[in-house]
A and B are shown apart, each in its own frame.
Chain A
Amino acid sequence: MEIIAIILGGVLINNFVFMQYLGLCPFVGVSRQLETALGMSGAVIFVMTMASAVTSVLEIYVLAPLGLGYLRTIAYILVIASFVQLVEIFMKKAAPGLYKALGIYLPLITTNCAVLGVTMLNVRHSYGIFLSTLNGLAGALGWSLAIIIFAGIRERWRLMDIPKTLEGFPLALVSTGLMSLAFLGFQNLFKAVFR
């Protein structure tokens, strides 16, 4: 039951973008085209799942027994930074086109607050290694869902006549708000199912 709750929670109910305000910079920055959004999603899914797994191992076997909780932030960010470096090296070789399209946002996954956010949330909920990894995966899937839907919407903007003052960020934020309103509906839906 807890597994189902984590998956549904990560993807729909507590969606990182719409409900928790995590990972907004790349969400707005890379969602201009469906293709780059898909590539970014792949990278984020990998980094977030692996980072969740590794940081929870680090937490349970190193930080907690030694009482080094106050070093958590520094330790986690270093783990995440090295994973991002790994993905970057891999993508440069395997998919140079995508690597160019993602541009600055690839190294910026390090500062994607969704990644550090999910590891911090794992600690707050005191999930074990398996549940942490699952939570990371579910959160990343939810983030990907959000950015892919949003990229679809943004591709249609090109055909539309948008008022000059709303162009770019303002419209992006307002449409995110409207989508988030839709996701708000899931919260009560699942509350009814799980209680």
Chain B
Amino acid sequence: MRRSVFYDFIKGFIEENPTFRLVIGMCPTLAVTTSVVNGFWMGVSVIFVLVFANVFVSLLRKVTPDEIRLPVFVILIATPVVIVELVMRAYLPAMYEILGIFVPLIVVNCIIIARAEAFAFKQPVLNSFADGLGIGAGYTLNLILISGIREFLGTGQITVGSFRFPAAPFFEPAAVMLTPPGGFICLGLLMAVLNVLLARRERKAKAQAV
């Protein structure tokens, strides 16, 4: 069965949303989301690695023996991670310092190895490319959403470059949102809210079916 390439791209946003539906790749999700800019760059790095790894895993899927597929995946994932690391250190040194060990740690981000194993190893190249792009973009949106909430509540405003919104904080910022406890609680409550919304949608669909 050949599913449409477009579906493989679009499913990363809601249906197979990596953070909220699949619940994988949590560590960086929490660690880098103290500001929107950090979240954005982390997301871009993950998109690059995911697309690169997916395409190459898919290209090599017919010549890779089953028994040694995991070491092969790891090498195919580590290569783009090193590329991201070197490029970021050269062109965005400040961001490289902030993201710190979480850039090399993309290697062990469960999202990437999970997509290689569950998707790219079985699907044609174009679909794998779309899947990588979609899941990566979904992940980036999650990071931006979470970091937006945390930055807004934690500092009172969202800062992107020289752009600030709102211009001055209109409430006393809760610095705890920027600390680890704030991150955990924020993500936990966000998931609960999403559960409520999904449950409501399901109930509506059921009511309509009856």
Contacts and interface: CB of A to CB of B under 8 A. Distances in A.
Interface string B13-27: 000000000011011
A33 B137 CA distance: 35
Give the interface centre of A23, A165, A177 by most chain B CB atoms within 10 Å.
A177
B105 A165 contact: no
Contact of A73 (B81, B100, B113, B188): B81
A120 B104 contact: yes
A1 B191 CA distance: 43
B30 A116 contact: no
Task: With a 10 A CB-CB cut-off, give which of B113, B187, B188 has the most chain A CB atoms.
Answer: B188
A181 B108 contact: no
B105 A120 contact: yes
B185 A174 contact: yes
Contacts of A177: 180-185, 188
A52 B144 CA distance: 33
Nearest to B78: A74
Interface string A59-77: 0000000000011111001
B86 interface: yes
B60 interface: no
Contact of A170 (B24, B71, B79, B195): B195
Contacts of B187: 173
Contact of A174 (B101, B105, B189, B195): B189
A152 B137 CA distance: 37
A70 B86 contact: yes
B78 A77 contact: yes
A169 B192 CA distance: 9
B27 A19 contact: no
A23 B27 contact: yes
Contact of B104 (A22, A23, A116): A116
Contacts of B188: 169-174, 176-177
A89 interface: no
A81 interface: yes
B126 to A, nearest CB: 27
A178 B181 contact: yes
A112 B70 CA distance: 15
Contact of B82 (A22, A74, A170): A74
Contact of B108 (A110, A165, A176): A110
A173 B186 CA distance: 9
A120 B105 CA distance: 9
Given A73-B107, A120-B104, A170-B192, A180 B78 contact: no
Contacts of A19: 180
A165 B199 contact: yes
B78 A121 contact: no
A171 B189 CA distance: 8
Nearest to A73: B104
Contact of B184 (A25, A120, A176): A176
A120 B109 CA distance: 15
A124 to B, nearest CB: 7
Interface string A109-129: 011110111001100100000
Shortest 8 CB-CB distances between A and B: which pairs? A173-B188, A177-B184, A177-B185, A174-B188, A170-B192, A181-B181, A21-B31, A170-B191
Given A113-B105, A178-B185, 17 more contacts: A18-B180, A19-B180, A21-B27, A73-B78, A73-B104, A73-B107, A77-B78, A111-B108, A117-B101, A166-B195, A172-B188, A173-B188, A173-B191, A177-B188, A178-B181, A180-B184, A184-B180
26 contacts: A20-B31, A20-B180, A21-B31, A25-B110, A28-B23, A28-B26, A70-B85, A73-B107, A74-B75, A77-B78, A77-B108, A110-B70, A111-B108, A111-B110, A113-B105, A113-B109, A116-B108, A117-B101, A164-B199, A166-B192, A170-B191, A170-B192, A173-B187, A178-B181, A184-B180, A184-B181
